[in-house]
Amino acid sequence: MVELDDTQRMGLLIGAAAIVIFIIVNMAGLLGGGEEKLFIIDLFTDREAMRPNVVFSTQDIVGGLIAVAMGALYFLSAEDELDWEALLGEDDEEE
């Protein structure tokens, strides 16, 4: 399994959530005033970044795959064995 500390795991979870929220908001057209969609790669090229709203694009698929990969890495990096007695506060002592 992959071993990451808690800060890195939380970064993965927050990053995946941010990507999913961006995809949903961008697909709804809320970033472009309701009729246009923001294309990230076009921000760094000479093409126009805001184009007429395309409901589902390659950018959405790639962003979704990245979010799924980050979420999977978050769950795969979890500790394998939990100390349930410590979590539940149970003691083996009998009175």
Give the model confidence (pLDDT) of 41-61 as tens digits.
Answer: 888 888 888 888 777 888 999
- pLDDT > 90 fraction of the chain, expressed in percent and rounded: 36
Could you give the CA distance from residue 46 to residue 69 in angstroms, rounded to a whole number? Answer: 30
Nearest to 51 by CA among 67, 33, 66, 63: 33
pLDDT of residue 62: 94
Segment 13-44, tens digit of pLDDT: 999 999 999 999 988 888 877 788 888 888 88
Could you give the CA distance from residue 55 to residue 53 in angstroms, rounded to a whole number? Answer: 6
Is residue 43 within 8 Å of 49, Cβ to Cβ?
yes
pLDDT of residue 27: 87
Could you give the CA distance from residue 87 to residue 92 in angstroms, rounded to a whole number? Answer: 14
User: Taking residues 72-78, what's their average pLDDT?
Assistant: 89
